[in-house]
Amino acid sequence: MARPYRSVLYIPAANARAMEKAQGLPADAIIFDLEDAVSPGEKSAARDALKVALTGDYGPRARIVRINALDSAWGEDDARLCAGLDGYADAVLIPKVDSAADLDKVAALIPDTPLWAMMETPLGMLNAAGIAAHPRLAGMVMGTNDLAKELNSRFRADRLPMQAGLGLCLLAAKAHGKLIVDGVFNAFRDEDGLRAECEQGRDMGFDGKTLIHPAQLAIANECFAPTEAEVDLARRQIDAFEQASAEGRGVAVVDGKIVENLHVETARTTLDRAQAIAAMAG
Ligand SMILES: CC(C)(COP(=O)(O)OP(=O)(O)OC[C@H]1O[C@@H](n2cnc3c(N)ncnc32)[C@H](O)[C@@H]1OP(=O)(O)O)[C@@H](O)C(=O)NCCC(=O)NCCSC(=O)C[C@H](O)C(=O)O
Ligand SMILES: [Mg+2]
């Protein structure tokens, strides 16, 4: 049963209060950020604060540490910290990954922890397949702010300028069986806007959404969970298909639509997700 990643909350590692608060927040995963949410003058203190914070009890929430790029002034120190975390982090997230070679460099410094890649540069989009294929890579995170900056694109509610990049990364992640979560929605008080973007991300196939504020958690958790109707349909599809198989038929019909093997696989995934989410809630 896979762990859910419906809601993946960024927390600046310089913010000790927020890191403590996250132990009680309904997030599936937390990204402890040493990169863009931490100012250059705070980098060293943030690293120290993170080391203390990670000894806290985050329960079933996945703990992901976003380091600075290795070619920055802070990246190697961040990598050294992660190499010594002894199981206190579930993954290390590498920013601005352009190619699989960027993962090799971090993999050499951090031998054991699974790696995740920020997908947020034009080169990263073009090399998404090679990045997703990397044996140490477990997941991808869309960095839609950086991507918009690099593209010089404008914000649009339908995210039309993002679609090529989002699609390439989704295809790459799915082709290699890796997790992939959508980018952040910056207007953290705009619930309708967030819901629309979560629905779009869910429709596209993302596993969840990265978030910047606790107020965004409930909407992401709801949008990326199977609905009651989906769970009910999944059960009925499985039952109907099993009955059809027992009668020697390869196709069943539910609610006027055909159900074949592949639909049953999707139905089982839906039930697994619902079960993983229930387990998360305790
Ligand atoms: C955006 C914020 C700066 C707003 O902070 P603040 O003004 O403190 O908000 P509130 O007063 O409404 O906070 C209420 C309480 O919630 C806690 N809080 C706030 N944010 C978080 C959080 N992210 N995680 C946990 N807890 C949080 C506050 O401490 C308050 O608690 P209490 O004291 O009990 O009242 C702030 O939300 C923030 O800094 N968010 C994260 C920003 C961030 O991480 N940015 C970097 C990631 S985005 C990115 O880089 C994406 C990618 O790379 C790309 O290119 O797209
Ligand atoms: Mg970014």
Ligand 2 centre and the CA of 36: distance in Å? 7
More confidently predicted of 175 and 282 = 175
pLDDT 10s digits, 182-212: 999 999 999 999 999 999 999 999 999 999 9
Which residue has its alpha carbon closest to ligand 1 atom 19? 213
Which residue has its alpha carbon closest to ligand 1 atom 29? 18
What fold characterizes domain 7-223? Answer: TIM Barrel (3.20.20)
Going by pLDDT thresholds of 50, 70 and 90, the confidence category of residue 23 is very high
- Average pLDDT of the residues in 215-231: 98
Mutate-to-test residue for ligand 1 from 21, 141, 162, highest number of ligand atoms within 8 A of CB? 21
Which residue has its alpha carbon closest to ligand 1 atom 46? 37
Complex-level ipTM beyond the 0.90 threshold = yes
Q: Report the percentage of the chain scoring pLDDT > 90.
A: 98
Ligand 2 centre and the CA of 265: distance in Å? 35
Q: Cα-flanking dihedrals φ and ψ of residue 220, to 5°?
A: -65, -45
Ligand 1 centre and the CA of 114: distance in Å? 25
The answer, yes or no, to whether any atom of ligand 1 lies below 6 A from the CB of 10, is yes
pLDDT 10s digits, 146-158: 999 999 999 999 9
The per-residue pLDDT for 281 is 84
The per-residue pLDDT for 282 is 76
Q: What is the mean pLDDT of the chain?
A: 97
pLDDT surpassing 90 at residue 172:
yes
Task: Find where tokens 């890796």 sit.
Answer: 178
The rounded distance, in Å, linking the Cα atoms of 208 and 224 is 6
The rounded distance, in Å, linking the Cα atoms of 189 and 204 is 24
Burial zone of 230 (CB within 10 Å; 0-12 exposed, 13-18 middle, 19+ buried): middle
The per-residue pLDDT for 65 is 98
pLDDT 10s digits, 120-147: 999 999 999 999 999 999 999 999 999 9
Which residue has its alpha carbon closest to ligand 1 atom 54? 143
Residue 92 DSSP class: E
- Number of the ligand 1 atom closest to the C-alpha atom of 141: 52
Ligand nearest to the CA of 147: 1
pLDDT 10s digits, 35-60: 999 999 999 999 999 999 999 999 99
The per-residue pLDDT for 1 is 54
